[in-house]
Structures are given as structure tokens and as C-alpha cells.
Chain A
Amino acid sequence: MTSPLEQKKIRITGPSMVTANRTWDGAVVYRTAKQGWSTELSDSAIVTTSDEARALLAEATADDVGAVGPYIAPVELKDGGKVKPGNLREHIRAKGVTIDLQVPA
């Protein structure tokens, strides 16, 4: 997955959101349309043009106390409006590790 940490030119090719880590605990959060953060991907503001994406990112970045390292990431929009992570990295951030952590005794 191309590291999204250094997004310079912003060009999106499909529906996207802005995500970051919450400052006090590091939890994965998504920028909402109400200019806040939510831990639910379904609450995220979805943008579809590069201009909208730039604006959403700028607005999210300004909230440096709330969350750290905001960047734009792709989402998939399913029938019925359900929002899914757009790549494996975001899937892992949303759903947790893909590892079975149960160390067999």
C-alpha cells in the first residue's frame, strides 16, 4: 500500500474520506461532516472530487489537538449506502489485525 503519509498532490479517483489517529489514545478516527471525529467509518464525510478532498483534509488538519496525521483514503460505497474501506490498509485500520492472536498453548 503506498504510504499515504506523504500525500503531496491531492488527486482522488473515487469516493474518499479523511482518517487519522485520535491524539489522546491513538484510536483510528474518521472526519465527519460535522467537523468532528468518529471511530465509525460509517460516520465519515465522503468526498468525490479532488477539491472537496483538499478542503476536507485542510479542515481536518487544522484540528491538531483532536487527531494526528490526517490523510485521504479511499472507500467503497456499497448498495444501500454502506461504506467500506477502500484498500487492505484501511480495512486493517477499521477492523483490526488479520492475525489470530490466540497463542495456542
Chain B
Amino acid sequence: MYAYDELDRTLINERVSEFRDQVKRRLSGELTEDEFKILRLQNGVYLQLHAYMFRVAIPYGTLSSKQLRRLAHVARRYDRGYGHFTTRQNIQFNWIKLAELPDALSDLAEVGIHAMQTSGNNMRNVTSDQWAGVAPGEIEDPRIWSELIRQHTTLHPEFSFLPRKFKIAITAAEHDRAAIKIHDIGLRLHKNGDGETGFEVLVGGGLGRTPFIAKTIKPFVPGRDILSYIEAILRVYNQYGRRDNIYKARIKILVHELGIEKFAKEVEEEWKAMGDVGLTLDHAAIEEVRSRFSYPAYEKLPHMPDELKQAAHDPLFERWRKNSVSAHKVQGYSIVTLSLKPVGGPPGDATAEQMDAVADLADKYSFGEIRVGHEQNLALPHVAKRDLPLLFKALDRLGLATPNVNLVTDIIACPGLDYCSLANARSIPIAQELTRRFANHDTADLIGRLHINISGCINACGHHHVGHIGILGVEKNGEEFYQITIGGRADENAQLGTLIGPAVPYAEVADVIEDIVEAYLALRDRPEELFVDTVKRLGVEPIRERVYATR
């Protein structure tokens, strides 16, 4: 867990009273919508189809049980009893009333939660691996660095008025769970030949209208220099970045237009020319932040407790354990993923009751800590293996033990036309139908790892470009149509998917996806060959032929 200091608390409280005053002035007519819009966006408040939408930050995906209970309270008291976990370690409330927002913000501020930098053209919530600090083989806890960057960039004038929004993600593990290659800046923590800790720096990733995978501009920047190096990147961006055209204002476009070598060279020169700008992180500053992350007092526990041996006879438990339980860096403990993707349910939604219950389970089994990942699932990061059987029973009763993590029904979907004022087409009902088609967990197991991502428009909030199967809603003559891509991926081998054929109408999407999956099953050379690997080996053509042959 992370302990906020006095400065943070004061800042959060000041923001709440400031916003309370702004809302009051808006409701009295003293502020017009045009004047108010930029203020509400600075506090995570959007306007959606049916209501205001309120986006709350969950920095690097770490929540305490107390904070989760407070989110449940907000869902119950100010919303319709549920919230939506997003792909950027945020939670969104869909039905909040403007007049009540200051109260909601104030209730959240009491537990150190805020909505700063969740929207607008500023430095957004710095995201990280949801398994940070517990994943085996991790170089070190990447949240320490997320926090150092957050402190430096929060409300810093230079980062508050960028040409466009700016997103940073950090990973410290071999397998990238933070999707760093689709961020404006992606940072991969590693050690160089001398055993020194630092970052591989990637720049220019992003999806949306013009998708790009980030490219490396420097293989190793020592940790102590990371703030000054980011500063150099932002200076180059601010100098060249196009403020005149919002579609071209993201750093990815600049990197593309200058070319990665030239961009890297410019940054390097800027960095050298900057000299010492007081951004070097000394040992004490790093240790100060490190000391504010506390880790549980783990017990010395056996690798294979009796409870686990006995429960292994229960096939339902075993299926769930194999799917949702992952190795922990401490012997005798596990990381447990809680699927927010029940068959037939909206991906990423959790009810207030579920949030409260998860908070209770976290207190009982995970030292009061919960994690939120970009796949729109939750995790309990420190569960003793002996407690797994009891935890499974409790989660199953709550509808949070669907054994589908990373499988075909673990779908990432944006809110789409059911909520979003920018949408072309619906996303969530497509996801729900697909989970029903693949409801049989044996079939899903047989298919293996397969990520489906759905966005309701080209803004790509559902990351469709990097879905193993990507689904994008478009509009044709007032009807909902969907473009389908295959072969994308968001991990360390990130790649954009390839269009498989003409867009299909709403009613046919699930059929086409079923056909794609069937084609894959027929074409894979062995059961272990994952969908993305088959597409990589064969290309799109053989799958396209099979799917469109009968259409």
C-alpha cells in the first residue's frame, strides 16, 4: 500500500472545495457550459448520453479495502449501484448528478481518492503492472517509479496544458501487463550490464484514429535520470507538437513524422543541452518514496499446503485455480485474479455489493489490498495458498470466479453507444452475446488464450487495434456495422491487427467471430499454438478464406 503525505491530502481537499464552488456557479448560471467544461474535465467529469460520467483515478491500480468500500458507497449513494473499471486503471460512474458531484468527490477525498488528471490535455494517471510488487522475477516494484513521476507531473504547469493528453505506463516484469507499447511513453525497468537499475524508454505508442506501436528511443536511462529524460522528451514534443490539429497533436504523430531516429536524436541533444535542471533523483528521494510503499508481513508458509491438496479433487476449484491463480514472489502465496467478465454480463462492471464483498475478502485474505488491471479485472495480490479453497467458494457466490481470465470471454469493451456520446455503435451487447456463444468453459479452455477487444468508435478506448481479435463499431447509413481485425497484440510483442474483410452488421458479428475461432482451431498446428501465433505463422488469408467462403 502507499501512504499519501500531508501535501497530497491538502491538495486533494483544496481541489474538492474549488470544484464545489465551480459547480455552484455553474448551476446558478454564473458560469456558462463553455467556461465550465474545461473545469469539469479537470475533475474527471464528462457528459455522456444519459448523464454526466465521472472518472476516478486508481493510481497504478492499487486500492485499499477502505478505498474500495468508499467506491461502493459512491456507486450506491450517488449512482445506480454499480461502477465500471476501465482499461487505464480508472473507475467510471455513469449516472452521477452534477449537483451531487462535489459531495461524491469529498467522500472520496477522505480516503485519498481523486479524479485529477483523468481527462483533459494533461499528464494522465501513470499506469503500471497490476501485479507490481508481487510478480516473481520483477526487477523492482515499478510503482515507486510511477509515484515519482506522478509527483513530478501532477499539476506541474508544463504538464497541465500539453498539446494533447499524455499517457505513461511502466512495467518491471518480463511479461508486459501494462501495455507500455501503446502509450505515449512506455518505460521498461531493467538492469544493465553493471547491475544498475534503469529504463528502456519507448515513445510514440497510441491507438485511436492513427494507431502506432511505441518504439525504443533509448535502451537504458539510469533511474536517477528518468525525470530529466522525460522532461527532455516533453520539451521536444512541446516545441514541435501540433496544437493546430487535434488529430495530429499526439506525440505518436510527431514521432512518425520526424522518424524515430531523428526524434531520438533531438531528445538526446535536448537532454544534454538541458544540463542539471534539478531533476536528478538522488538516492534519498527514491528511498523516501520506496519507504511509503508498505508490504505485508508475509508468513513462512509451505509451497503446497494440505488445504490445496485436498481441494484439488474438486474439478471446479481446479479449473478456477489453473485459470485465475498466479505465482507470487513469496512462497506459499498467490495472486488471484477476479474476473469481472461473467457470462452475459457487461465487461468490467462491478456492483456496490460486489465491491463491498471484495473489500471484505481482501481484509480477510489479502492484507486489505486490491489491484485493478488494464484488462478490466480485479486482483487480490497476497493470498495465502491455504486460503484459496475458501476464497474460491466466496468468490463463486459473488459471481467473481468465472474461470475465463485471458480466455475468449475475458473481453475488453468500451462503453459504446449505450453510454458514450461519441459512439458509432454498441460494444457491450456484442461482448455479452459473445460470452454467451462461448459460455462453455471447456470450449474456452480448448481455444486457449484469446483476447477480444471491442471499441464503439475510432477513439479505440477498447483497444481494438491490439486485440487478438479486434472489433470496431462503424456506421453505415445509420446502421451499426463492425470492422473485424485479427492478429493484434498488446504485450511485449505488441502489434496492430489486420482487417479480415468487409464490415458486418450487428446481428452477424458473433457468427463471424465464431467462424474465425473455428478456422483457427482447424488451422493451428498443435493445441498449444495460440490464436495470435497461428495468425502470425499463416497470415490473415487462410482464415479470411474460411470465414468469408460461405458469406
Which A residues are within 8 Å of any B CB, using their own CB?
1-3, 5, 21, 23-28, 64-65, 68-69, 87-89, 92-93, 96-101, 103-105
Contact for B344 among A3, A64, A96, A104, CB less than 8 A = A104
Interface 1/0s, chain B 405-439, versus A by CB < 8 A?
00000000000011101111110110010000000
- Minimum Cβ distance to chain B for residue A57 (Å): 15
Contact for B342 among A2, A65, A89, A103, CB less than 8 A = A103
9 tightest A-B contacts by CB? A26-B51, A25-B97, A65-B29, A105-B399, A97-B418, A26-B52, A103-B345, A24-B99, A99-B428
Take A103-B345, A104-B342 as given contacts and tell me if A25 and B399 are in contact as well, using a CB distance cutoff of 8 Å.
no
Q: Are A26 and B47 in contact (CB under 8 A)?
A: yes
- Minimum Cβ distance to chain A for residue B361 (Å): 15
Q: Indicate if B343 sits at the interface (CB-CB under 8 A).
A: yes
User: Chain A contacts of B342 at CB under 8 A?
Assistant: 103-104
User: Chain A contacts of B303 at CB under 8 A?
Assistant: none
Q: Are A25 and B99 in contact (CB under 8 A)?
A: yes
- Minimum Cβ distance to chain A for residue B3 (Å): 33
- Report the Cα distance A3→B349, complex, angstroms: 26
Contact for B51 among A25, A65, A100, CB less than 8 A = A25
Nearest-neighbor residue (CB-CB) of B479 within chain A: A88
Q: What are 8 A-B interface contacts by the 8 Å CB criterion?
A: A23-B33, A24-B27, A64-B29, A97-B50, A97-B419, A103-B346, A104-B344, A105-B398
User: Chain A contacts of B428 at CB under 8 A?
Assistant: 97, 99
User: Chain A contacts of B349 at CB under 8 A?
Assistant: 101, 103
User: Chain A contacts of B32 at CB under 8 A?
Assistant: 64
Nearest-neighbor residue (CB-CB) of A26 within chain B: B51
Q: Are B97 and A104 in contact (CB under 8 A)?
A: no
User: Chain B contacts of A27 at CB under 8 A?
Assistant: 50-51
Q: Are A28 and B475 in contact (CB under 8 A)?
A: no
Take A26-B98, A92-B418 as given contacts and tell me if A98 and B51 are in contact as well, using a CB distance cutoff of 8 Å.
no
Interface 1/0s, chain B 67-111, versus A by CB < 8 A?
000000000000000100000000000011111000000000000
- Minimum Cβ distance to chain B for residue A50 (Å): 19
Q: Indicate if B534 sits at the interface (CB-CB under 8 A).
A: no
Q: Indicate if B49 sits at the interface (CB-CB under 8 A).
A: yes
- Report the Cα distance A2→B457, complex, angstroms: 11
- Report the Cα distance A3→B478, complex, angstroms: 11
Cβ-Cβ contact count across A and B, 8 Å cutoff: 97
User: Chain B contacts of A105 at CB under 8 A?
Assistant: 397-399
- Minimum Cβ distance to chain B for residue A86 (Å): 9
Q: Indicate if B480 sits at the interface (CB-CB under 8 A).
A: yes
Q: Are A93 and B49 in contact (CB under 8 A)?
A: yes
- Report the Cα distance A104→B346, complex, angstroms: 10
Q: Which of B271-294 contact A (CB under 8 A)?
A: none
Q: Are B432 and A3 in contact (CB under 8 A)?
A: no
Contact for B82 among A28, A88, A89, A101, CB less than 8 A = A101
User: Chain A contacts of B344 at CB under 8 A?
Assistant: 100, 104
Q: Are B343 and A21 in contact (CB under 8 A)?
A: no
Q: Are A96 and B50 in contact (CB under 8 A)?
A: yes
Q: Which of B26-65 contact A (CB under 8 A)?
A: 26-29, 32-33, 47-52
Q: Are B82 and A26 in contact (CB under 8 A)?
A: no
Nearest-neighbor residue (CB-CB) of B349 within chain A: A103
Q: Are B48 and A88 in contact (CB under 8 A)?
A: no
Q: Indicate if B331 sits at the interface (CB-CB under 8 A).
A: no
Contact for A99 among B346, B421, B425, CB less than 8 A = B346
- Report the Cα distance A5→B399, complex, angstroms: 39
Take A64-B29, A93-B49, A93-B50 as given contacts and tell me if A25 and B98 are in contact as well, using a CB distance cutoff of 8 Å.
yes
Q: Indicate if B216 sits at the interface (CB-CB under 8 A).
A: no
- Report the Cα distance A2→B49, complex, angstroms: 14
Nearest-neighbor residue (CB-CB) of B344 within chain A: A104
- Report the Cα distance A104→B33, complex, angstroms: 40
- Minimum Cβ distance to chain B for residue A1 (Å): 6
- Report the Cα distance A65→B98, complex, angstroms: 13
- Minimum Cβ distance to chain B for residue A54 (Å): 20
- Report the Cα distance A28→B345, complex, angstroms: 25
Contact for A89 among B49, B351, B354, CB less than 8 A = B49
Nearest-neighbor residue (CB-CB) of B399 within chain A: A105
- Report the Cα distance A101→B82, complex, angstroms: 9
Q: Are A24 and B97 in contact (CB under 8 A)?
A: yes
- Report the Cα distance A23→B29, complex, angstroms: 10
Contact for A69 among B33, B345, B419, CB less than 8 A = B33
Nearest-neighbor residue (CB-CB) of A74 within chain B: B478
Most chain A CB within 10 A, of B49, B342, B418, is at B49
Take A21-B51, A23-B27, A101-B346 as given contacts and tell me if A1 and B398 are in contact as well, using a CB distance cutoff of 8 Å.
no
User: Chain A contacts of B475 at CB under 8 A?
Assistant: 1-2
Take A64-B29, A65-B29, A89-B49 as given contacts and tell me if A100 and B478 are in contact as well, using a CB distance cutoff of 8 Å.
no
User: Chain B contacts of A28 at CB under 8 A?
Assistant: 49-50
User: Chain B contacts of A99 at CB under 8 A?
Assistant: 346, 418, 428-429, 432
Contact for A26 among B27, B48, B478, CB less than 8 A = B48
- Report the Cα distance A9→B398, complex, angstroms: 52
- Report the Cα distance A99→B26, complex, angstroms: 32
- Report the Cα distance A27→B50, complex, angstroms: 6
- Report the Cα distance A3→B456, complex, angstroms: 12
Q: Are B33 and A68 in contact (CB under 8 A)?
A: yes
